A and B are shown apart, each in its own frame.
Chain A
Amino acid sequence: MKKLLAAAVILAFFLTIGVFNLSFASDREAGTYLLAQQSQEKSAEADEEVDEDDEYDDEYDDEVVQINDPLYRLNREFFYFNDAMYTAILRPLGIGYRTVMPSEIRLSIKNFFHNLRFPIRFVNCLLQAKGTKAMEEFATFFLNSTVGFAGIQTPASYYDSLPPSPEDLGQTLAVWGLGHGFFIMYPVFGPSSLRDSATFIDTLLLDPVSWMASNRQGNLDFWALVAVRAGILFNELSFQIDDIDALKEAVFDPYIGIRDAYVERRAKMVAE
């Protein structure tokens, strides 16, 4: 009951933010997506007729990343919200944390929790009928859990025959033939899609951190779980601050840049 209540509170919180942001920014990007699509179609038509004399023309693979984005306006608002939260809170905190905490410890924490999530990778390898990868993941888990001191170190990474295969349920569904559906920019959690939202199920069912919480019957400490998860993500973020800074410097339309990059990266992960 408490769990449900907490979930409802969080949902309500995000919805409020969404509505709040929208009501303020409704004029900002209104309808641009539709416009963009229309003009793309129009110029695509025009393109077929025009000049063949341009020597470059035929060589251009002129495509852009394709994904449905019916929630475009909401997604964009959530993106700005995430960005503001990152800039105002997470980045300064992360830099402080990075300064205080030696990178060895941060890396150990990251490795430990990555190793712990082995069931997700293993089960999804199996669901995709990738037997070899499943065995490699098992060997990696075994090696890192023993020689690597419960996953704090990653001795398996020194073996070229044990490449990491970060499989998840989103990729499994893709292998089964499901498309993205549409793009979703989650507040806090960032880019995803309808299909890739299935990765939340991974975390809920196959992440040992979740098991620990649900073992304590009845008065399960939901917020303790949230805190642990936030801690894990925050620790991981501390490795990415420089990359994020560089990325922000390099983009012209950050929302489009992030969205398309997400789609391309997921396509590569599915293909592997």
Chain B
Amino acid sequence: MKKTYIGLIVILLAIFLILPYDALAAGAKDTVKGQIDKMLATIKQPGFKDQPREAQINEVRKVINEVFDYKELSRRTLGREWKKFTPEQQTEFIDLFQRVLENVYADRILAYTHEKIEFGKETQLKKGRMEVESYIITTDNKKVPIFYRMSDKSGQWRVYDLVIEGISMVKNYRGQFRQILSKKKPEDLLQTLRKKAAEKPAS
């Protein structure tokens, strides 16, 4: 009799222990897929397109910000240059880079029409880092590969890099920033970012 109780307790304990891990293991692919679905639901809801553009962008921005891990993304983009920034500069960099990317992607998402999105397999790059494959099927039936690189560093799966047709966003920005930082100071780069972040997204 006692043994059964102990067995039950052990099982219950095991379940409690496993549960949170399981929630995390809910997987990079499911997470990003859920977020993309949410994004599509947002822009497809009735009346969405009737709102002023500013309101549309704000709503899309909210969802985008759940997708990206801007801190991880910023650190990766700057790579070894990261250490040349003071903590204050780092914080400002993350904030500004976030605003620039928000604008860029809000723009692209609002331009989205009736392409389809398919999801492929997910592969582990390293512990805590996954790559989820997805494809946008364009109206003329072309497949544009978009791979999401995700990390669970923030406690949930978030995107730190987008690889579109083999071109890594983070790597591309890294090259550009390194070029700029090779002759200018971090403060100058921040100034460039401030200007860019203040630009209104083109309509």
Residues of A within 8 A of B (CB): 32, 35-36, 39-40, 43, 47, 50-51, 54, 56, 59-60, 62-65, 107, 111, 154, 157-158, 163-164, 242, 245-246, 249-253, 256-257, 260-261, 264-265, 267-269
Contacts and interface: CB of A to CB of B under 8 A. Distances in A.
Contact of A154 (B141, B165, B199): B141
Nearest to A57: B80
Interface string B146-184: 000000000000000000011110011111111110110
B107 interface: yes
B175 A43 contact: no
A264 B111 contact: no
A245 B175 contact: no
17 contacts: A35-B183, A43-B80, A59-B126, A63-B171, A107-B140, A157-B142, A245-B202, A246-B107, A249-B201, A250-B104, A251-B176, A252-B173, A252-B177, A253-B176, A257-B176, A261-B167, A265-B166
B103 A62 contact: no
Given A62-B79, A264-B172, A36 B167 contact: no
A260 B166 contact: no
A223 to B, nearest CB: 31
Contacts of A252: 173, 176-177, 180, 192-193, 196
Interface in B128-152: 140-143
Q: Nearest 5 A-B pairs (CB), nearest first? A: A268-B166, A36-B182, A62-B79, A157-B141, A253-B176
A35 B181 CA distance: 11
Contacts of A268: 165-167
Give the dominant DSSP class at B's interface: helix
A29 B153 CA distance: 40
Interface of B: 75-76, 79-80, 82-83, 100, 103-104, 107-108, 111, 126, 140-143, 165-168, 171-180, 182-183, 192-193, 196, 199, 201-202
Which residue, A65, A158, A163, A261, has most C-beta atoms of chain B within 10 A?
Answer: A261
Given A246-B104, A264-B166, A268-B166, A64 B178 contact: yes
A40 B182 contact: yes
A261 B80 contact: no
Contacts, number: 96
Which residue, A107, A245, A252, A268, has most C-beta atoms of chain B within 10 A?
Answer: A252
Contacts of A54: 83
Contacts of A51: 83
Contact of B171 (A111, A264, A265): A264
Which residue, B140, B141, B178, B179, has most C-beta atoms of chain A within 10 A?
Answer: B179
Contacts of B168: 264
Contacts of B201: 249
Nearest to B141: A157
Nearest to A163: B143
A158 B183 contact: no
Nearest to A260: B175
B175 A65 contact: yes
A58 B59 CA distance: 37
B104 to A, nearest CB: 4
A56 B103 CA distance: 27
B182 A32 contact: yes
Contacts of A32: 179, 182-183
A36 B107 contact: no
A246 B179 CA distance: 21
Contacts of A269: 166
B179 to A, nearest CB: 5
B165 to A, nearest CB: 6
Contacts of A261: 167, 172
A256 B140 contact: no
A207 B104 CA distance: 38
Nearest to A269: B166
Given A60-B76, A157-B141, A257-B176, A249 B166 contact: no
A236 to B, nearest CB: 12
A32 B183 CA distance: 8
Contacts of A164: 142
